[in-house]
């Protein structure tokens, strides 16, 4: 019963984090993060996509040097990993049809033996 409550509370907190992080992009654009999760085990690969107005991010950066980012099968799917415990902010850049760059941020925490 307690683990169910913790899971529900954690899920609600993650959704709020996604909403607040997505709203912090330039021009107050709401960037939608696809397949995102805010907590992962160290060494675990987490996949991310960021979307705004039907366009997907082609650039993803992290504010921590210990976080490794690589592109997967297409230009919009990214794999994020860290071999050490760290909390980092990811920044996605999306180029729209008008040539403007929309940015959105998302925070992820890597922990040793993270509890989901």
Instruction: List the pLDDT tens digit at each of the 116 positions of the chain.
Output: 566 666 666 665 656 556 655 555 444 568 888 877 778 888 989 888 999 988 999 999 999 999 999 998 778 899 999 999 999 999 999 998 888 899 999 999 999 875 55
CA 101 to centroid of chain Cα atoms: 18
pLDDT, residue 105, reads: 92
Domain enclosing residue 20, as ranges: 2-111
How many structural domains compose the chain? 1
Q: Is residue 48 part of a domain?
A: yes
Q: Is residue 116 part of a domain?
A: no
Contact 79, 96 (CB under 8 A): no
């Amino acid at each position: 019963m307690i683990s169910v409550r913790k899971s529900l509370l954690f899920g609600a907190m993650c959704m709020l984090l996604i909403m607040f992080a997505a709203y912090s992009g330039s021009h107050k654009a709401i960037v939608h993060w696809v397949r995102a999760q805010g907590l992962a085990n160290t060494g675990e690969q987490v996949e991310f996509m960021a979307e705004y107005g039907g366009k997907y991010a082609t650039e993803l950066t992290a504010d921590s040097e210990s976080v490794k980012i690589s592109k997967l099968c297409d230009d919009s799917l990214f794999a994020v990993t860290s071999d050490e415990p760290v909390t980092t902010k990811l920044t996605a850049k999306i180029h729209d049809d008008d040539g403007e760059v929309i940015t959105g941020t998302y925070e992820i925490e890597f922990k040793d033996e993270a509890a989901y």
